Amino acid sequence: GNSVTQMEGPVTLSEEAFLTINCTYTATGYPSLFWYVQYPGEGLQLLLKATKADDKGSNKGFEATYRKETTSFHLEKGSVQVSDSAVYFCALGGNTPLVFGKGTRLSVIA
């Protein structure tokens, strides 16, 4: 069945550091890939998505590229801010309920 594996946290970075959160997946067919984010005290919300191989999703300075050859969808940001502190979830799906990873907690310190 479909599954998602993402790097375990917590991840602690200084402001303006480079961020990578790894995500790999196992899937049948051609799923869409997503990153959701949960800020403190808020519900999960969609951060970015990619619907086919080699697509790059981007939002708020975050990027992730759908790599079919490595079955990966790593999340990156060149310069993190304190306001990026949150839990990030990688997910895959399409026409079926989304399958989520365990989440990675990011803390950015000034």
41 or 70: CB nearest other proteins: 41
Rounded distance between C-alpha atoms, residue 59 and residue 75, angstroms:
11
10 or 110: CB nearest other proteins: 10
Tokens of 83: 């306001």
Q: What's the CA dihedral at 92, 28, 102, 18 to 10 degrees?
A: -60
Tokens of 4: 């998602």
CB of 21 to other proteins, least distance (A): 14
CB of 103 to other proteins, least distance (A): 6
Chain residues that interact with other proteins, rule: CB under 8 A: 4, 32, 34, 36, 41-46, 49, 51, 89, 93-103
41 or 69: CB nearest other proteins: 41
